[in-house]
Amino acid sequence: MTGAGVILTLNGGSSSIKFALFAAQTPLVRVVSGAVEGIGSANPQLRVAGKPATAIAATSDHDSAGELVLVEAERQVAGCKLIAVGHRIVHGGPVFVRPQRIGPAMLAALRRLRPLDPEHLPVEVALVMAAMRRFPDIPQVACFDTAFHHTMPRVAKLLPIPLHYASEGVIRYGFHGLSYTYLLGEVERLDGAAAARGRIVMAHLGSGASLAAVYDGKPVDTSMGFTPASGVPMGTRCGDIDPGLAAYLARTETISTAAFDHMANFESGLLGLSETSADMRELLAREATDPRAADAVLSFCYAIKQRIGAFAATLGGIDSLIFSGGIGANTPAIRARVCDGLGFLGIVVDARRNADGAAIVSPDAGAVVVRVMPTDEEVVIARAARDLTDGVAEPSTATP
């Protein structure tokens, strides 16, 4: 890969940092992707698409993992013109509601937002700063997961707690916005603008899981709220629970706020219910002989089915249901169980199409189009980085 202009995207997660390079053309072309996985584990690996995984020295923190990713990215970029670096930032708070160029004022604002997302923001800010040091003359662009949901109706944003907290930024934000941006764009590309303006429920189901309701191309509601721990049960996150549990466990087991937060984010969900695994594949393989695994799978599907029903009520019906994410796009059994019993909403799954992983798993005569659609957050980041560096995208009005 020589001579072409390229865009680098960086996506820092809790245990991995992903990167991808795109040729800066229309449409964008992904030329390489990879990741450092297993950060903090005994066996971290560097993966580059098309090559065997490489074991690396124990990487206990994101700083050293980020340096490994940037060294590999710099090696891949050699001979090319790097024109931008795009970053996924999970939380933009109430200020950052569209992609924008990164500068000192934004970095200072993101540091102030760290109490909103202490798990992701410090890691992401550190990765941005490392990329700025590595590529000091290259524009850096931030893309915010929360931005997709910022136009939700006020009723969907407000938390039913004392109203003054809303003015302090304690509202429902929603997450997985880059994924939902991609999926909505794909609906328009595949089915046309009218379909993209219809009543759509999107289910991004992976180790982190959420659903979003969209109408007329705009977000109406979403399952996650103030933090990514809310909504449906996930790999290790609890989803919605009674807030009185925190006080109860503090009284009976002297659990601190920090310990409760750790439990809710890292010891709950599929892992907590099964007591064995947060991996849906393992739980499905074990459910026939382990009732705990069966309970975990059942709870996951039950909560998603409930949320689809709630969004149908909000939207006044559903025209399209989209399954995405690692579980949603790759696990026919989960799609079938979630949709079972939703025929009264017009949601029906064709068993053969579903088992084959077809792009559309509903029957031809189905009232609701049920799609299976892999997501691509990195291409959304790359598009925003290309547009901003070309001066195409509307500049942000945020004033951090």
Q: Which residues are catalytic?
A: 145
Q: Are 294 and 333 in contact (CB under 8 A)?
A: no
Residue 278, classified by CB atoms within 10 Å of its CB into exposed (0-12), middle (13-18) or buried (19+), is buried
The total of other beta-carbon atoms located within 10 Å of residue 79's CB is 10
29 forms beta bridges with 23
In angstroms, the CA 164 to CA 150 distance is: 19
> Cα dist. 47→18, 376, 379 in Å?
9, 18, 19
Q: Are 211 and 247 in contact (CB under 8 A)?
A: no
Burial annotation 196-222 (CB, 10 A radius, 16+ → b, else e) = bbbbbbbbbbbbbbbbbbbbeeebbbb
In angstroms, the CA 279 to CA 136 distance is: 40
**Per the structure block, which two tokens stand in for 203?**
């289910």
Question: Phi/psi at 83 (nearest 5 deg)?
Answer: -105, -15
Strand order in the sheet with 369-372: 218-222, 209-215, 200-205, 320-324, 369-372
